[in-house]
Amino acid sequence: MALFRARLIDALSEGEDSFEFDAHEDLMNDTPVRIVRAFFGGSDPSRFRTKHEDWELNAAFKNRERGVVTCMGSFHLGGEAPSVPFLLLIAPKKG
C-alpha cells in the first residue's frame, strides 16, 4: 500500500480540504477515472465539507511527468437541489 494526498475544492463550501488515503502502490499507473474512484472509495465521507448523496465525474486528466491527476466533477445533493461543481487534485504523498 502507498499513501496519496488529494486537494478538494467545491463551489458550495468555498473552502479547500486536504485528504490522505491509502491505495495500491501502482495507483498512478491506473486510468484517471480509477484513480478518482480510489480516492472516493478510500476517503471518509464525513470529512467532506459539502454533504452529498453521489458524485459525477465530468473530466479527469493525468499529468504523467508530475504524477498528478486533475478531476472536475459534480456533487449531487439529492432532491431538487442543483449539483455542486468540484475540482480535485490527486498525487502520491511526498516524504
Query: Which residue ranges make up each domain of the chain?
Result: 2-92
38: exposed, middle or buried (C-beta count within 10 Å: 0-12, 13-18, 19+)?
A: buried
Query: For position 85, what pLDDT does the model report?
Result: 94
The reported pLDDT for the residue numbered 46 is 79
What are the mean pLDDT values of the chain's consecutive 10-residue runs (95 residues total)? 95 88 95 95 81 90 96 92 94 90
- Residue 18 pLDDT: 92
- What is the pTM for the complete model shown? 0.90
pLDDT of residue 27: 96
Question: Interior CA angle at 37 toward 32 and 42, to 5°?
Answer: 130
